[in-house]
């Protein structure tokens, strides 16, 4: 039986947009991974529910992982610090429950990994913008994370993003919610799957163009010059 922490309730209500999301923090929705040296999630494993920018504490596991039981949205990187210094291969995987995956691109060469979105509940509405394509960039200077309005996005280089939850985000080309604007709309998903854009150009978004963000968009989307829509499962 899942254990719900009723003392932690996230209430997101946007009266101006009509979007409403009420989510109890449930441990069954916390991002977690069990990492295995085997190709079929058998044998000894390394458990994590946190971001790991290097394997300094676990040297025997670096470049040895081939499969994982995954819950939530996770990104696995070929190099340390989420491929911040050197670009490399990645595997982005989302799973609504513990399912075994064999890595396609980084099997046997994983040097860092991180979850996307909220670390307690992957259904919480959030937006993470990354410095490079394929969600590459460290959480210090290589990405920016938000669950609410942000009047000034300081990350200058921007090439990919991941949106979690069921509330859209309104994007502005200038700080303080000015300039050209469009709305990133997460399409319906029974599992609240993230909407992941590995390369802005694939979604007709210009690089380095997001300068401020609001949580929630107008219901009448005809006022915007573009709507980004779709999910990667």
Q: What are phi and psi of 223, to 5 degrees?
A: -80, -10
Reported as a single tens digit per residue, the pLDDT across 98-126 is 999 999 999 999 999 999 999 999 999 99
Reported as a single tens digit per residue, the pLDDT across 201-232 is 999 899 999 999 999 986 555 444 446 654 43
Confidence at residue 189, expressed as pLDDT on a 0 to 100 scale: 84
Alpha-carbon distance of 193 to 178, in angstroms, equals 30
Q: Please, what are the domains in the chain?
A: 31-115 (2.60.20.10), 122-229 (2.60.20.10)
| 102 sits in which H/E element | strand 90-102
Reported as a single tens digit per residue, the pLDDT across 120-160 is 999 999 999 999 999 999 867 789 999 999 999 999 999 99
| First and final C-alpha spacing in the chain | 26
Alpha-carbon distance of 77 to 113, in angstroms, equals 6
Cα–Cα distance list, 121 to 23, 32, 63, 132, 202 (Å): 9, 10, 28, 25, 28
Confidence at residue 138, expressed as pLDDT on a 0 to 100 scale: 80
Among 190, 177, 218, smallest CA distance to 18 is for 218
Q: Are 109 and 138 in contact (CB under 8 A)?
A: no
Is the per-residue pLDDT at 8 higher than 80?
Answer: no
Confidence at residue 229, expressed as pLDDT on a 0 to 100 scale: 53
pTM of the predicted model as reported, rounded to 2 decimal places = 0.84
């Amino acid at each position: 039986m899942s254990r719900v922490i009723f003392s932690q309730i996230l209430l997101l209500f946007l009266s101006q947009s009509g979007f409403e999301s009420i989510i109890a923090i449930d441990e069954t929705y916390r991002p977690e991974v069990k990492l295995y040296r085997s190709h079929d999630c058998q044998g000894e494993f390394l458990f994590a529910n946190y971001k790991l920018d290097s394997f300094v504490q676990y040297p025997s596991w670096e470049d040895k992982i081939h499969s994982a039981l995954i819950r939530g949205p996770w990104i696995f990187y070929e190099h340390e610090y989420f491929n911040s210094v050197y670009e490399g291969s990645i595997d982005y995987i989302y799973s609504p429950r513990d399912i075994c995956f064999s890595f396609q691109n980084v099997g046997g060469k994983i040097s860092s990994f991180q979850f996307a979105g909220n670390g307690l509940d992957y259904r919480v509405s959030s937006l993470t913008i990354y410095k490079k394509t394929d969600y590459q960039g460290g959480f210090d200077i290589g990405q920016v994370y938000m669950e609410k309005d942000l009047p000034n996005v300081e990350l200058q280089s921007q090439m990919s993003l991941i949106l979690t939850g069921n509330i859209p985000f309104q994007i502005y080309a200038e700080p303080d919610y000015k300039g050209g604007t469009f709305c990133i709309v997460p399409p319906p998903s029974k599992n609240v799957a993230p909407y992941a854009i590995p390369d802005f150009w694939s979604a007709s978004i210009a690089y380095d163009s997001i300068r401020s963000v609001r949580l929630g968009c107008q219901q009448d989307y005809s006022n915007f010059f573009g709507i980004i829509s779709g999910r990667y499962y």
